[in-house]
Structure 1
Amino acid sequence: MSSSPNLLDSATAQLNSWTGQRRKVPIQLGSMFSQVFKTHTEAEAETLFIGGTEKTTPTLATVSDSPVQPWLFTRVLTVFGLTIAILAGSLFIFNGEKMYNGLIFMSALAVPFSLLIMFFEINTFRNISIFKVTKIFMVGGVASVLTTMGLYQFVNIQNMTIVAAILVAIIEETGKLVIIAYYVKRTQARFILNGLLIGAAIGAGFAAFETAGYAQDYGLWVLLLRAIDSLGTHTMWGAISGAALVMVKGAHPLAANTFQDGRFVRFFALAVSLHALWDMPLPLPSLLKSGILIAVAWVIVLVLINAGLREIRELREGKLT
Structure 2
Amino acid sequence: MTVSAGQGKAINTATSADQSRRARRPWLRVFGVGLLLWVASVLVTFATSNSNLIPTIILLGSFLVPVTFVVYALSHADAVVTPQRIFTAFIIGGLLGVLGASVLEATLLQQPSGLGYLGVGLVEEAVKLAALWLLARRLPEYTMRDGIVLGAAVGFGFAAFESAGYAFNALFTSRGVSLLNLVETEALRGVLSPVGHGLWTAMVGGALFAAAARRGRPRLSGPVLGWYALAAGLHALWDASQGIAAWWTVALAGTPRQERVFNELGLLPIATESQIHLFTTLNWTLLVLDALIGVLVLRGRWRRAKAVQAAGLEGLAP
Q: TM-score range by the shorter chain?
A: 0.7 to 0.9
The Cα shift of 1:95 comes to 2.9
Is residue 106 from structure 1 mapped to residue 85 from structure 2 by the alignment? Answer: no
- Look up the match of 2:230: 270
Q: Is the CA contact (8 Å cut-off) linking 2:143 and 2:314 kept in structure 1?
A: no
The Cα shift of 1:74 comes to 2.7
Distance 1:215-1:189 versus aligned 2 partners, 3 A rule? farther
The Cα shift of 1:295 comes to 1.3
The Cα shift of 1:319 comes to 7.8
Tell me, in whole angstroms, the C-alpha distance in 2 between the residues paired with 1:317 and 1:222.
Answer: 41
| RMSD between superposed Cα atoms in Å | 2.5
- Look up the match of 1:131: 84
- Look up the match of 1:196: 148
Tell me, in whole angstroms, the C-alpha distance in 2 between the residues paired with 1:288 and 1:188.
Answer: 43
Tell me, in whole angstroms, the C-alpha distance in 2 between the residues paired with 1:86 and 1:132.
Answer: 32
The Cα shift of 1:214 comes to 0.7
Q: Which has the larger radius of gyration?
A: 2
- Look up the match of 1:305: 302
Q: 1:230 aligns with which of 188, 193, 196?
A: 193
The Cα shift of 1:185 comes to 1.1
The Cα shift of 1:236 comes to 0.6
- Look up the match of 2:27: 73
Per-residue CA deviation, residues 136-188 of structure 1 (Å, 9 max, x unaligned), is 21121111111212322431322x21111000100110011110111121434
Aligned length: 253
The Cα shift of 1:232 comes to 0.6
Deviates more, 1:297-306 or 1:245-254: 245-254
Distance 1:198-1:297 versus aligned 2 partners, 3 A rule? same
- Look up the match of 1:182: 134
Bigger RCO (CA 8 Å, 6+ sep) = 1
- For structure 1, the residue ranges without an aligned partner over 5 or more in a row are 1-37, 46-70
The Cα shift of 1:43 comes to 8.5
Using the size of structure 2 for normalisation, the TM-score is 0.72
Tell me, in whole angstroms, the C-alpha distance in 2 between the residues paired with 1:99 and 1:186.
Answer: 41
Per-residue CA deviation, residues 217-255 of structure 1 (Å, 9 max, x unaligned), is 113121111112202100111111111100111163335
Deviates more, 1:309-318 or 1:236-245: 309-318
Higher helix share: 2
* Residue pairs, 1:242-257, within 5 angstroms: 242-250=205-213, 252-254=215-217
The one-letter code of the counterpart of 1:315 is G
Q: Is the CA contact (8 Å cut-off) linking 2:213 and 2:314 kept in structure 1?
A: no
Distance 1:75-1:301 versus aligned 2 partners, 3 A rule? farther
Tell me, in whole angstroms, the C-alpha distance in 1 between the residues paired with 2:290 and 2:26.
Answer: 25
Is residue 208 from structure 1 mapped to residue 160 from structure 2 by the alignment? Answer: yes
Tell me, in whole angstroms, the C-alpha distance in 2 between the residues paired with 1:166 and 1:96.
Answer: 41
Tell me, in whole angstroms, the C-alpha distance in 1 between the residues paired with 2:125 and 2:55.
Answer: 28
SS at match of 1:190: coil
Is residue 86 from structure 1 mapped to residue 46 from structure 2 by the alignment? Answer: no
The Cα shift of 1:88 comes to 1.5
Tell me, in whole angstroms, the C-alpha distance in 2 between the residues paired with 1:239 and 1:157.
Answer: 28
Q: Is the CA contact (8 Å cut-off) linking 1:232 and 1:294 kept in structure 2?
A: yes
The one-letter code of the counterpart of 1:143 is L
The Cα shift of 1:113 comes to 2.3
Is residue 282 from structure 1 mapped to residue 244 from structure 2 by the alignment? Answer: yes
Distance 1:142-1:303 versus aligned 2 partners, 3 A rule? same
The Cα shift of 1:262 comes to 2.3
Q: 1:155 aligns with which of 89, 108, 133?
A: 108
- For structure 2, the residue ranges without an aligned partner over 5 or more in a row are 1-16, 172-181, 249-281
Distance 1:73-1:110 versus aligned 2 partners, 3 A rule? same
Structure 1 vs Structure 2: percent identity of aligned residues? 23
Distance 1:315-1:195 versus aligned 2 partners, 3 A rule? same
Q: Is the CA contact (8 Å cut-off) linking 1:77 and 1:114 kept in structure 2?
A: yes
Tell me, in whole angstroms, the C-alpha distance in 1 between the residues paired with 2:283 and 2:38.
Answer: 26
